[in-house]
């Protein structure tokens, strides 16, 4: 199955697929454990080292690994068996979480050790997230993809509503070790679900698998030269850089500003989760009426208001109200951006593209967390929250031109290019040059040149370099496109990956011509 961005008639339709339902339920349980762990870590750090910068560093240690490792993780997920990858990483996470729980139980935890274990758990999450998101189109019919992405976000926020509340009660009643211990056990639920799941067999590969480094380069290159994904990343940066102040300052807001305990902190986080679940229920209808751009703007304003309430009216009641509003705003923006990212990514680069989205998300969150912790250390928690709220409002006009609407072109493979009749060399072949001549009538020249600008971006996204368009001085109206690719193998992969959207663009180009294009492939001479 491949993904589209067509809205399904029911937001619950993905649950008709048993595999999706089981895996979704397992991830909700695991995410509850993760949120319990995060609450425990944040609260433990306020006891070990209550400095705003150190407490904010817990949030940074959670998100920084995604920034560092997500592109590598996405490349691995696009090359290897994703189910096996998820099993191995979850097993390592379970072991790490168990060791963390033991250290807390024997009172051997220090601020540095807590940051190290938080970083290790975040690193596991970094390797899980791209693979997990990339398998969603395999679990549901493509007309249900948007609903499945929304349900994934809702599941995360159900976990956010339950995990912190349970963690707060456990810490108050039984001690700090229990959130960490139950997080380790919750990971075993995911492992069991993955063992149960038997995905359909993947089509047999006709070409050799990519190497990890080459796959990483290909993913980054696709992001750089794909306009739609760049727009999504710009909007994400403008939001998450400032919205990170809500998460990084919340433990200190509960403990220092409100002089509360773990129960209050858990209640604040639970209110965020409840708001997010409520937001998820109304989001499909809201996005249908407003569209993705206005939905993101509305969510950004909602998050700014939430931060303003925390800064200007710091009471438990307004904190809970701000949490409800922040949860709804958060899911409105995150879900809209995630669906937009899915819509511009073909399956061959899906995990890598989503990894780049996660890298930008986590980088903005980590950088923002450290920045707002520094602002709070030099002024106050309220000042940090208020400045971030102002930044969110200013980000709206600054990112307005990065429009998300109209990004739903069909990215499934077209396979419309003829089979190449040049065999794959046994040895490592060198660069390949592709040379195409077009006979363009004078009335169609301007339209042709405009389409070739789009064509240039497409060639470069697939690994082309040295692209140039020249005119044959001896033949009026003949324009010649040429570009290089790293190898003949790379060009064969290009054949496999051209999308239906790109095929439609190329059909528009051919419709302008007076004759079929003349195509030549120039390869490096073989030895012997």
Instruction: Give the least confident one: 87-91, 103-107, 416-420, 513-517.
Output: 416-420
What top-level class would CATH report for the domain 13-398?
A: mainly alpha
Structure confidence at residue 212 (pLDDT): 84
What strand order describes the sheet that includes 465-471? 465-471, 478-485, 432-439, 518-523
**Angular region, 210: left φ>0, alpha ψ -120 to 50, beta rest:** beta
The dihedrals phi and psi of 521, each to the nearest 5 degrees, come to -115, 125
- State which H helix or E strand residue 450 sits in: helix 445-461
Structure confidence at residue 303 (pLDDT): 95
pLDDT tens-digit profile of 455-483? 999 999 888 899 999 999 999 899 999 99
> Would the pLDDT of 35 be above 60?
yes
In eight-state DSSP terms, residue 443 is G
> Would the pLDDT of 247 be above 50?
yes
What CATH number belongs to 432-523?
3.30.70.100
CA separation for the pair 343, 213 (Å, rounded): 25
CA separation for the pair 2, 412 (Å, rounded): 6
Sign of CA dihedral 410, 345, 341, 235: negative
Q: Which two tokens stand for residue 409?
A: 């072109």
Helix pair angle (350-378, 316-343), 10° resolution: 150
CA separation for the pair 134, 3 (Å, rounded): 10
Q: What is the pTM of this model?
A: 0.75
Structure confidence at residue 1 (pLDDT): 37
How would you class 486 by CB atoms within 10 Å of its CB: exposed for 0-12, middle for 13-18, buried for 19 or more? middle
pLDDT tens-digit profile of 155-202? 876 776 677 777 777 777 777 788 888 888 999 999 999 999 988 776
Contact 39/164 with Cβ under 8 angstroms? yes
Report the percentage of the chain scoring pLDDT > 90: 29
Structure confidence at residue 9 (pLDDT): 53
- State which H helix or E strand residue 433 sits in: strand 432-439
Structure confidence at residue 56 (pLDDT): 67
Q: How far is CA 202 from CA 83, 132, 135, 205, 490, in A?
A: 12, 16, 12, 8, 21
Instruction: Give the least confident one: 148-162, 409-423, 447-461.
Output: 409-423
CA separation for the pair 499, 5 (Å, rounded): 15
**Stretch 404-425: mean pLDDT, rounded?**
69
Residue boundaries of the structural domains of the chain? 13-398, 432-523
> Of the candidates 294, 288, 186, 307, which has an alpha carbon nearest to the alpha carbon of residue 243?
307
Residue 47 CB coordination number (10 Å)? 12
pLDDT tens-digit profile of 368-384? 888 888 898 888 899 99
How would you class 111 by CB atoms within 10 Å of its CB: exposed for 0-12, middle for 13-18, buried for 19 or more? middle
Structure confidence at residue 26 (pLDDT): 92
CA separation for the pair 507, 510 (Å, rounded): 5
Q: Which long-range contacts (CB under 8 A, 24 or more apart) does 251-256 make?
A: 251/42, 251/43, 251/45, 251/46, 251/55, 251/58, 252/46, 252/50, 252/52, 252/55, 252/376, 252/381, 253/310, 253/314, 253/319, 253/381, 253/385, 254/319, 255/43, 255/46, 255/50, 256/50, 256/381
pLDDT-based confidence at 6, cuts 50/70/90? very low
pLDDT tens-digit profile of 473-515? 999 899 999 999 988 888 888 888 888 888 899 999 999 999 9
Determine the 3-state secondary structure of 212 from DSSP: helix
Q: Which two tokens stand for residue 440?
A: 């363009």
């Amino acid at each position: 199955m491949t993904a589209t961005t067509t809205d399904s008639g029911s937001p619950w339709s993905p649950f008709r697929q048993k595999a999706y339902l089981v895996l979704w339920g397992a991830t909700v349980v695991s995410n509850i454990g993760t949120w319990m762990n995060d609450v425990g870590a944040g609260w433990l750090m306020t006891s070990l080292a209550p400095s705003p910068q150190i407490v904010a560093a817990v949030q940074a240690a959670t998100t920084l690994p995604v920034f560092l490792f997500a592109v590598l993780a996405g490349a691995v997920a696009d090359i290897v068996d994703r189910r096996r990858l998820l099993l191995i990483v979850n097993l390592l996470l379970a072991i790490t979480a168990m060791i963390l729980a033991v250290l807390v139980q024997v009172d051997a935890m220090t601020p540095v050790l807590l940051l190290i274990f938080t970083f290790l758990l975040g690193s596991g999450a970094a390797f899980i997230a791209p693979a997990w998101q990339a398998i969603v189109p395999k679990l549901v019919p493509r007309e249900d993809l948007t609903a499945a992405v929304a349900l994934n976000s809702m599941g995360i926020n159900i976990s956010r509503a339950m995990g912190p509340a349970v963690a707060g009660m456990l810490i108050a009643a039984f001690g700090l070790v229990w959130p960490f211990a139950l997080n380790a056990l919750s990971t075993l639920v995911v492992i069991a679900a993955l063992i149960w799941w038997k995905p359909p067999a993947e089509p047999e590969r006709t070409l050799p698998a990519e190497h990890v480094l080459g796959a990483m380069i290909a993913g980054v290159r696709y992001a750089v030269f794909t306009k739609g994904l760049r727009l999504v990343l710009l909007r994400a940066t403008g939001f998450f850089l400032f919205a990170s102040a809500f998460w990084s300052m919340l433990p200190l807001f509960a403990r220092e500003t409100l002089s509360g305990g773990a129960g209050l902190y858990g209640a604040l986080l639970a209110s965020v989760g409840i708001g997010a679940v409520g937001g998820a229920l109304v989001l499909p209808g809201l996005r249908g009426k407003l569209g993705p751009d206005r939905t993101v703007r509305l969510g950004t304003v909602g998050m700014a208001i939430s931060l303003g309430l925390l800064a200007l009216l710091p009471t438990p009641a307004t904190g809970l109200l701000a949490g409800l509003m922040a949860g709804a705003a958060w899911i409105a923006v995150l879900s809209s951006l995630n669906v937009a990212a899915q819509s511009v990514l073909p399956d061959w680069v899906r995990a890598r593209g989503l990894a780049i989205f996660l890298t930008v998300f986590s980088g903005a969150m980590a950088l923002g967390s450290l920045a707002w912790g520094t602002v709070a250390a030099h002024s106050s928690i309220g000042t940090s929250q208020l400045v971030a709220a102002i930044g969110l409002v200013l980000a709206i006009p600054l990112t307005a031109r990065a429009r998300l609407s109209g990004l739903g072109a069909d990215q499934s493979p077209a396979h419309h290019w003829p089979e190449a009749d040049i065999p794959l060399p046994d040895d490592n072949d060198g660069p390949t040059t592709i040379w195409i001549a077009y006979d363009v009538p004078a009335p169609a020249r301007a339209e042709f040149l405009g389409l070739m600008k789009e064509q240039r971006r497409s060639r470069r996204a697939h690994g082309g370099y040295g692209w140039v368009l020249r005119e044959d001085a001896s033949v009026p109206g003949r324009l010649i496109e040429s570009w290089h690719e790293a190898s003949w193998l790379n060009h064969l992969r290009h054949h496999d990956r051209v999308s239906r959207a790109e095929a439609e663009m190329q059909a528009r180009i051919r419709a302008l011509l007076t004759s079929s294009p003349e195509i030549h492939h120039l390869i490096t001479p073989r030895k012997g």
